[in-house]
Structure 1
Amino acid sequence: MEKVTVDTVEPRMGPASVKRALAGPLDADDIALNYYELEPGDSFGFGYHRHPNQEEVFLVQSGTATFETEDGDVRVEAGEAIRFAPGEWQRGYNDGNERVVALALGAPQEMGDTEMLRHCEDCGGRTHNYVEMTDDRDALVTRCEECGAETGRFT
């Protein structure tokens, strides 16, 4: 048995105000488990994405999260959960005025190569992107795979 206090886990850089990866401290080998706090405008992931080998479940504990999906936007309120099968496109974000608190579970833990789309100003539309650490290691940036332009910066 393993137990962890969420607030003692070091937060990670990214598009959410707070992201705490709990699987490692809990010594969980088969699932990914992340705690999120999203301020208005924040998102769970770096862009519209899919995991080829991992299903994801988001349980909203407070606030309302909106998920962009292949079938349109879906609002998930406190006490509700949403599941995405492996290969399903999605982007969860907070477009409200209240903070969103949520847990995300992924199985298996290893998600495979994530495919991500973001808007690239230089290319004039959504393009495939990747994430990299800045040289000074103080931010993560997303870059367009087609032209190399920076499409987002996250601390």
Structure 2
Amino acid sequence: MGYHHLAVDDIEPTPDRPSIQRSISDAADLENAAVNLYKVAPGENIPLAYHYHDNQEELFYVLSGTLAVETPEKTYEVDEDEAFVVEPDSPQRAHNPESATEPVRTLVVGAPAVDDVHPYDPE
């Protein structure tokens, strides 16, 4: 059996990201799910780019603030204690708008934990 009790704020942020990302899955050596906690300042993105996944499903659970998720159809506003789910082959860009007055804290779970990301050009 294996267990991991983690103080998430003690996990070193992932370098070279547009927002603060702490990889819970890396800290716990998870193999089947990517689990990350993000703190996103106004004007910052969660992902590196507007993108989609071939197989990975993503769940964004907002702990505080309001997360904006841009899709080809519209931009969704996801408030505290709400979740937003993205199915495979569904382009999205999660961000905190520049007009926001506070950071957004969001728990993001992706499964399976595969590197199947592709950039998406909304034009």
What code does the residue aligned with 1:59 have? Y
Alpha-carbon distance between aligned partners in 2 of 1:23 and 1:47, rounded to the nearest angstrom: 21
Aligned partner of 2:4 in structure 1 is: 2
Larger radius of gyration: 1
Correspondent of 1:77 among 76, 79, 97: 79
Structure 1 residues without counterparts, runs of 5 or longer: 119-124, 127-155
Aligned partner of 2:118 in structure 1 is: 115
TM-score, scaled relative to structure 2: 0.90
Q: Describe the SS at the equivalent of 1:24.
A: helix
8 Å Cα contact 2:52-2:120 kept in structure 1 = no
Alpha-carbon distance between aligned partners in 1 of 2:28 and 2:34, rounded to the nearest angstrom: 10
Identical counterparts, % of pairs: 33
Which one has a larger percent strand, Structure 1 or Structure 2? 1
8 Å Cα contact 2:58-2:86 kept in structure 1 = yes
Correspondent of 1:20 among 19, 22, 25: 22
CA RMSD of aligned residues (A): 1.4
TM-score, scaled relative to structure 1: 0.72
1:97 matched to 2:101? The reply is: yes
* Structure 1 residue 71: Cα displacement: 1.9
Asked which structure has the greater RCO (Cα within 8 Å, sep 6+), the reply is: 2
Runs of 4+ in 1 over 3 A off after TM superposition: none
Correspondent of 1:36 among 29, 35, 38: 38
Deviations 1:111-142 (A, max 9, x none): 32x11146xxxxxx95xxxxxxxxxxxxxxxx
Structure 2 residues without counterparts, runs of 5 or longer: none
1:39-78 equivalence runs, <5 A: 39-78=41-80
Deviations 1:64-109 (A, max 9, x none): 0100012211000000000000110000100111110000000001
Aligned partner of 1:140 in structure 2 is: none
